[in-house]
A and B are shown apart, each in its own frame.
Chain A
Amino acid sequence: MASGVASPEADGLAAGSLRVVVGVGTGGESLGAAAQAARAIAMGAIRVSGVERRDRLTAGRLRRQYGVYWADTPAVTARRRHLTPPDADRIVRKPTFAPRVLSMPQTTIYVSPRSHGAPNERPPAVATTDLARLFAGSAALAGVSLRIEAGRCVALLGPNGAGKTTLLRLLATVIRPSYGTALVDGLDVGRDADLVRERVAYLSHATGLYDDLTARENLDFAATMLDTPDRAARVERALADVGLHERAGDRVRDFSAGMRRRLGLGRLLLGQASLILLDEPTSALDDDGVVLVEQLLAAWREVGVTVLVASHSADRLERLIDARVVLDRGLVASVAGEGVTTTAPTADPIRRPAVATR
């Protein structure tokens, strides 16, 4: 059966959208045509209105390669742009590279299909244009234009009030931009917030844990929310990875700040994010905890996950960082390293006409 990309008009879809049809059969040309469309979707060049499945094997291959998902029936695909959530398609086990931490014999990173592929086939992990966020009329971010290539580990530096946390919260969809745009994997954090949340994991100053639940119950709840496959085993693995296996049955209320931080890091291991945002990840951690963060950063970088780390100082994490972005009073003061570029803001956000993206 012929396959490939049908015209949107022929399928009655909205203009500017395409339907990807993966055909039955094994012909290289049909796979090529559908793969071309899938690549365009993955690059963010087109918006998917529906991906119709005809051949599970071929569709599965596309999904693994490009992170393209599909719904079960054409009727469903006609209604839904947001398709089925990801499964654990690929598991990559990384050997120990910091054997000092005995409680963590290996770090297990479950890789998102979106984290795979050559860097030039993936859209930038982060692309902001004149991004600004005002709080009570004053700009916490005052026009940040930043492009971070996929798979990089980037330190976000600057003094208190520079806008580091605000930038992370905008990318995580916690807050919306006042002006400008922010794209994660080519998806707008305002318009496509639901899709962005599937791609982003965020550890903020607060760990977001429930005091009256045990460590295991907290991670199990997070795994349910993240639709983590093989949930029980993954939770146990994450507890072991962050060195809390022996305290798994204890209530979080009794945990120290450092242990809560470790548990928050463990939650990051349950998802399949392609962009991980860490706000002062080493705060409250002891030396072993800092080594744990180093291990995680290295493992994420190894498998192509993009990591953005906000910190006052990147000294401890220096060897793992590809680039540094220094913020000052809501603007990019300097950029150094590979995979990150910036441009000057085009206007003062406070004087700009009110054309907010929200």
Chain B
Amino acid sequence: MSALRREAAIALAIARKDALSELRGRHATVSTLFFAAVVLLLFGFALGPDAERLAVAAPGLLWLAVVFAGILAVNRLHLLETDDGALEQLALYPVSRRAIYAGKALGGLAVMLVLGIVVLGAVGVLFAVDVAGSALPLLVTVVLGAIGIAAVGTFYAGVTVRLRAREVMLPLLMLPVLAPLLLGAVKATAAALSGDPFGELGAWLQLLVAFDLIMVVAGAATYGFLLEDG
């Protein structure tokens, strides 16, 4: 088996293990979906019943909900590894650290995709925006955004997983790094929802692709150091 195929097999095994744990324990999905729904409702209440204002704010609210809930999700997925020394055991396997990162990020991506699509639908319903009319560009935006959040989240969850104050530290570390993604995703979503009258959608999607590439490469290259316990 070539080294690359072996790494892919390891990454898939880790992602499968996380998916099985998630399906059975529902550690991340239920709580994060509920949290995202609460965030959307609260923002809706704060902005008032003006439908036009809600529609304008919808892209921003969508991505704030996804990012906040995504932080919870990646944290929950990494907490699976803290039970009974599982993270230490994972680090002891003679496997590429890059493959471990890829596996954890794939698990995070799966949760983020579910989260992004559900929240997108909820925004369509709650804020009366036409999501179905521009489904393809919106889905592309959600996929690119989910990849970025999973890539950054997996790395920073690895940084904070051994900390007592991880629930506080994770958003503090992640949110500044996610700022370009948030900007690109909100602008791309707004452009998609408005029919892209200025032809800017492509540029924002390119920003998201570049962000994802940088974060995936940086995360894969450095995640191994996080697995070492001093």
Contact = CB atoms under 8 A, between A and B. Distances in A.
Contacts of B80: 210, 212
B92 A174 contact: yes
B88 A217 contact: no
A227 B6 contact: yes
A338 B147 CA distance: 56
B94 A197 contact: yes
A40 B76 CA distance: 48
Contacts of A211: 21, 25, 83-84
Given A224-B13, A225-B95, A175 B229 contact: yes
B158 to A, nearest CB: 16
Interface residues of A, number: 30
Contacts of B85: 204-208
Given A176-B230, A211-B84, A225 B91 contact: no
A222 to B, nearest CB: 8
Interface in B1-48: 1, 6, 9-10, 13, 17, 20-21, 24-25
Contacts of A173: 92
Contacts of B93: 197, 222, 225-226
A260 interface: yes
Contacts of A251: 24
A37 interface: no
A172 interface: yes
A172 B94 CA distance: 11
B84 A176 contact: no
Interface string A162-200: 000000000011111000000000000000001001101
Contacts of B17: 210, 213, 217, 221
B136 interface: no
A226 B20 contact: no
Given A174-B91, A217-B20, A209 B229 contact: no
Contacts of B228: 175-176
A321 B83 CA distance: 32
A260 B85 CA distance: 12
A202 interface: yes
A202 B88 CA distance: 10
A210 B85 CA distance: 9
Nearest to A218: B17
Contact of A197 (B21, B84, B92): B92
A85 interface: yes
Contacts of A204: 85, 88
A121 B112 CA distance: 53
Contacts of A222: 93
A209 B20 contact: no
Given A173-B92, A226-B93, A208 B86 contact: yes
B88 A225 contact: no
A205 B85 CA distance: 9
A198 B230 CA distance: 20
B23 to A, nearest CB: 8
B9 to A, nearest CB: 7
Interface string A226-262: 1100000000000000000000000100000000100
A291 B145 CA distance: 54
A260 B6 contact: no
Contacts of B83: 210-211
Given A210-B80, A260-B84, A198 B13 contact: no
A285 B88 CA distance: 22
A209 B175 CA distance: 32
B221 to A, nearest CB: 15
Nearest to B87: A208
A176 B225 CA distance: 12
Contacts of B21: 210-213
Nearest to B1: A227
Contacts of B86: 206, 208-210
B7 to A, nearest CB: 11
A181 to B, nearest CB: 17
A102 B45 CA distance: 67
Contacts of B24: 212, 251
A194 B91 CA distance: 10
B92 to A, nearest CB: 6
21 contacts: A85-B94, A173-B92, A174-B91, A175-B228, A175-B230, A194-B94, A197-B93, A198-B94, A204-B88, A206-B88, A206-B89, A207-B84, A208-B86, A209-B86, A212-B21, A212-B80, A213-B20, A224-B10, A225-B90, A225-B95, A226-B93
Q: Which 9 A-B pairs have the closest CB atoms?
A: A206-B85, A208-B89, A225-B93, A197-B94, A212-B21, A198-B94, A224-B13, A212-B24, A212-B25
Interface of A: 85, 172-176, 194, 197-198, 200, 202, 204-213, 217, 221-222, 224-227, 251, 260
Interface of B: 1, 6, 9-10, 13, 17, 20-21, 24-25, 80, 83-86, 88-95, 228-230
